[in-house]
A and B are shown apart, each in its own frame.
Chain A
Amino acid sequence: MDFAKSDIQAMLLDSAERLLSENADVEYWRHQRSSALGFDEARWAQFAELGWLALPVPEAAGGLDGTIEDIALLNIALGRALATEPYVSTVVLADHVLKQAADEAGSLELLGQIAGGTLRIALAHQENGAHPLDVEAGGTLARPSAGGYMLSGAKIMALDAPSAGQLIVSARMEGEEGTGLFLVPADAPGLSVESYALIDGTRASDIVLADVALPAGALLVGGNRGAAVLREAIDRASIALMAQAVGAMEAANKICGAYVQERKQFGAAIGSFQAIQHIMADNFVAAHQARSMLYHALANADQDQATRSAALSAARLVIGEAGQTVSRNGIQVHGGYGLTDEYAIGHYFRRLMCIEKQYGDLIQHGERFGDSIFG
């Protein structure tokens, strides 16, 4: 066991420090939130220049062939800076599906475009009322048609879809078992899209598919493997999100630590009061345990599906709750200022709440982990 950073990891963290730290503040976040896509496309291009978008891409497609640890370390930095770029959707989730796709050459082409910053892909899988950890597509149907497929159904809350050029849509395959994963252009005829902001400033879409006609090549992963590939991809997205949560918590703790030394009441810094000190100690413990669980999830990332999912859900349980502890306590020590949009802590609070509920929330991961223990 070795926690020392590899050369590529040190390089990633160094570049992250340089690019992200200058824009990790309320003014920047508020400006991005009011922009068209919720993030700065020029900075996305810088992500590409720094190689971040090529991180999990195979060398054959001009990528860096990075590990899940590399991805996690970069996402810690993204979380610390509350970056709203669709990194997880495109680079973690979609990349993983593309790497498993049947048409290898076509996928390498798409992965190359992602690495270059010219293509973003979002996942449209979740359906209203479906279990977030269920990787079978219940209500969306793919019917064979002349030369391809016709897709119909309704997806809800496709994260980062408003800025994506292509969507990965899950659908039940008519006449066969399983779930297929389809590549669908975001402007395909038959799609109707309603987009909105989430509380952390990121964007999502509800998508209705009405007889969307697709060529046969649009089927990235067939029905026999679709669910398994989707589960792997979502698990990896979960790891990246947990890493962002760890970064966000550690940053929030720093901000609160500074605030309680600066804020004075009764003629003294509030950090001199034991009641506040103990809240801060609780926050430190929570963030520390969260990072420990990120390591646990990473150490099991390549295990068989049952082991991996159990470790991941255990980690989501600890990290999800730690994020709530840290950011709720963070607001508490800020008093009324914690409730304003003008202080950073409220931005961390909203982001950590979003992370806790995406790709399975505390209750659902708790259930999945409990089931893994008792069967």
Chain B
Amino acid sequence: MELRLDPDLETFRTEVRAFIDSILPADMKERQRRKVANNAAVPDLLEWMRILHAHGRSVPHWPQEHGGCGWTPMQLFIFNEELYKADAPEFDWGGTHMLGPVLYTYGSDYLKDRFLPMIREGATMWAQGFSEPGSGSDLASLRTSAERVGDTYIVNGQKIWTSGAAHADWGFFLVRTDKTVKPQRGISFLIIKMDTPGITVRQIPQINGEAHLCEVFLDNVEVPADQLIGEPGMGWTYAKFLLEHERTTSSFIYWSKRELARAKDIALGERVGGRRVADDPAFRARFARAEADLLALEWSVLRVLAHEEFDAPEAAAASVLKIRGSELQQEVTMLQVDAMGAKSLRFFDAAPVPPPAPTDAWPDYAPGRTTVALINRAATIYGGSKQIQKNILAKLAFGI
């Protein structure tokens, strides 16, 4: 048992930090640091992918034959952590972390050759079309149908909560190709170009002023049959693979660590009655608890990455990460909000425009904290709600 970090990894961290510092444009970093909403600045996101690609670092977690870096899980962990610390734009997760692994694992050579470079090079934004109005937690009940006619699938139905669909060039969809079999068996994984005739996208106004989540209506949309990934009827299996492949992503550990550091800055910057918020015993106790919980989450991620032998199915650890990761995302953002007291109530426009210039009363950390905290209620809902995760966990860990 060796729990101390390998000293070579500290060298790696230093190198990675210098690398990111050398390629991340200062104006992009500043825009990202001061963005009001999570999903602002889409152009930055693709531009950053192109910069990373130029240095062979845009999909480090992929197999080397497809452009990956051949790093160990711990090296990937450090690279991601440093990206977040540096306020680099996010990955386009849909492409790099969801579709990509499904494609290179199950896709035909045609699909791999066509789409993997697009993802890797930051050429396209991707939308994920899984949920439907009647199929949230009960995803397998989805009804959007794809009927094979010659070399084409005719797609009809409706998707919802499709993040970024309004800006996406392409989407990957779960569709029903067979209504006669068990629900999970009749689902297929289909790539669809978002400007195909018959697709209508409606942006949904959110409680934080953004409209990033979308509804996607599909009305007799014709999709070339060779855009179906793998075998028809295997879509459910691929979707499960996708979720299991990225077992530690749902922890949001890098994001929450960075945002807790920001919560600390706010607590040190804000004063109430002449006293720093950081010196309020109740606030300090809550902050300490969140930081301790985040350390526990980080070690839980490391345990998964190191494949610790475990007295329960490995998937149980993934549900733990999802539950604690989502709860802590919420707690960390609420610490930021609560540290600002009533000042947190000011509405800031979530559009990708520069926020107001900072003043003494409204430092540059003020715009955006509440915008993010409001929409972070989603963290315990998407990707398998907290209650679904608890059902899964009870079954995996205790057989009940």
> Given the complex, which residues of A lie within 8 Å of B311, measured CB to CB?
250
Of the candidates B296, B308, B312, B400, the one having the most CB atoms from chain A within 10 angstroms of its own CB is B296
Of the candidates B1, B4, B268, B312, the one having the most CB atoms from chain A within 10 angstroms of its own CB is B1
- A330 in contact (CB, < 8 A): no
Cβ < 8 Å to A, chain B residues 279-333: 279, 281, 284-285, 287-289, 291-293, 295-300, 302-303, 306-309, 311-312, 316-317, 319-320, 323-324
- A274 in contact (CB, < 8 A): yes
> Contact string, A211-240, partner B, CB cutoff 8 A, digits 1/0?
000000000000000000000000000000
State how many angstroms separate the Cβ of A13 from the closest Cβ of chain B.
11
Cα–Cα distance between A280 and B267 once the two chains are bound (Å)? 35
Which listed residue, B281, B307, B400, touches A272 by the CB 8 Å rule?
B400
State how many angstroms separate the Cβ of A186 from the closest Cβ of chain B.
36
> Given the complex, which residues of B lie within 8 Å of A264, measured CB to CB?
none
- Complex interface: stretch among B166-174, B196-204, B389-397: B389-397
- B65 in contact (CB, < 8 A): no
Cα–Cα distance between A293 and B74 once the two chains are bound (Å)? 19
The answer to whether A289 and B288 touch (CB under 8 A), given A250-B311, A277-B390, is no
Contact between A285 and B288, CB atoms less than 8 A apart:
no
State how many angstroms separate the Cβ of B40 from the closest Cβ of chain A.
30
> Given the complex, which residues of B lie within 8 Å of A250, measured CB to CB?
311
- A142 in contact (CB, < 8 A): no
Cα–Cα distance between A314 and B287 once the two chains are bound (Å)? 11
> Given the complex, which residues of A lie within 8 Å of B399, measured CB to CB?
257, 261
Which listed residue, B268, B303, B390, touches A295 by the CB 8 Å rule?
B303
Contact between B291 and A369, CB atoms less than 8 A apart:
yes
- B14 in contact (CB, < 8 A): no
Contact between B291 and A373, CB atoms less than 8 A apart:
yes
Cβ < 8 Å to B, chain A residues 292-325: 292-293, 295-296, 298-299, 311, 314-315, 317-318
Contact between B398 and A285, CB atoms less than 8 A apart:
no
State how many angstroms separate the Cβ of B332 from the closest Cβ of chain A.
14
The answer to whether A284 and B288 touch (CB under 8 A), given A278-B390, A289-B297, is no
Contact between B300 and A289, CB atoms less than 8 A apart:
yes
Number of A interface residues, CB 8 Å? 48
Of the candidates B2, B3, B307, B393, the one having the most CB atoms from chain A within 10 angstroms of its own CB is B3
The answer to whether A317 and B288 touch (CB under 8 A), given A69-B3, A277-B390, is yes
**Chain B interface residue number, banded:** 35 or more
- A49 in contact (CB, < 8 A): no
Contact between A317 and B278, CB atoms less than 8 A apart:
no
The answer to whether A278 and B320 touch (CB under 8 A), given A260-B400, A373-B287, is no
Contact between A257 and B303, CB atoms less than 8 A apart:
no
Contact between B398 and A260, CB atoms less than 8 A apart:
yes
> Given the complex, which residues of A lie within 8 Å of B319, measured CB to CB?
281
Cβ < 8 Å to B, chain A residues 87-109: none
Cα–Cα distance between A370 and B302 once the two chains are bound (Å)? 24
- A144 in contact (CB, < 8 A): no
- A276 in contact (CB, < 8 A): yes
> Given the complex, which residues of B lie within 8 Å of A1, measured CB to CB?
2-6, 74, 302, 306
> Given the complex, which residues of B lie within 8 Å of A280, measured CB to CB?
393-394, 397-398, 400
> Given the complex, which residues of B lie within 8 Å of A260, measured CB to CB?
398, 400
State how many angstroms separate the Cβ of B282 from the closest Cβ of chain A.
10
The answer to whether A315 and B292 touch (CB under 8 A), given A1-B5, A277-B394, A282-B390, is yes
- A366 in contact (CB, < 8 A): yes
Cα–Cα distance between A317 and B74 once the two chains are bound (Å)? 27
Contact between A257 and B400, CB atoms less than 8 A apart:
yes
> Given the complex, which residues of A lie within 8 Å of B289, measured CB to CB?
317, 366
Which listed residue, A272, A292, A370, touches B300 by the CB 8 Å rule?
A292
Cα–Cα distance between A141 and B101 once the two chains are bound (Å)? 69
- B29 in contact (CB, < 8 A): no
Which listed residue, B291, B298, B323, touches A285 by the CB 8 Å rule?
B323
Residue of A nearest to B390 (CB): A281
Which listed residue, B5, B284, B393, touches A374 by the CB 8 Å rule?
B284
Cα–Cα distance between A311 and B4 once the two chains are bound (Å)? 13
Of the candidates A292, A293, A315, A371, the one having the most CB atoms from chain B within 10 angstroms of its own CB is A292
Contact between A296 and B285, CB atoms less than 8 A apart:
no
Which listed residue, B2, B74, B285, touches A370 by the CB 8 Å rule?
B285
Cα–Cα distance between A33 and B32 once the two chains are bound (Å)? 62
Contact between B285 and A367, CB atoms less than 8 A apart:
yes
- A78 in contact (CB, < 8 A): no
> Given the complex, which residues of A lie within 8 Å of B316, measured CB to CB?
284
Which listed residue, B292, B306, B317, B387, touches A288 by the CB 8 Å rule?
B317
State how many angstroms separate the Cβ of B348 from the closest Cβ of chain A.
27
The answer to whether A288 and B300 touch (CB under 8 A), given A3-B309, A260-B400, A271-B398, is yes
15 sample A-B contacts, Cβ–Cβ < 8 Å, listed by A number = A1-B2, A3-B3, A9-B1, A261-B399, A271-B394, A277-B394, A284-B394, A285-B320, A285-B323, A293-B295, A311-B295, A314-B288, A314-B295, A318-B295, A370-B285
| Additional 5 contacts, C-beta under 8 A, given A250-B311, A288-B317, A311-B295 | A3-B303, A272-B400, A281-B319, A281-B323, A369-B292
The 3 closest A-B pairs by CB, nearest first: A271-B400, A292-B299, A277-B394
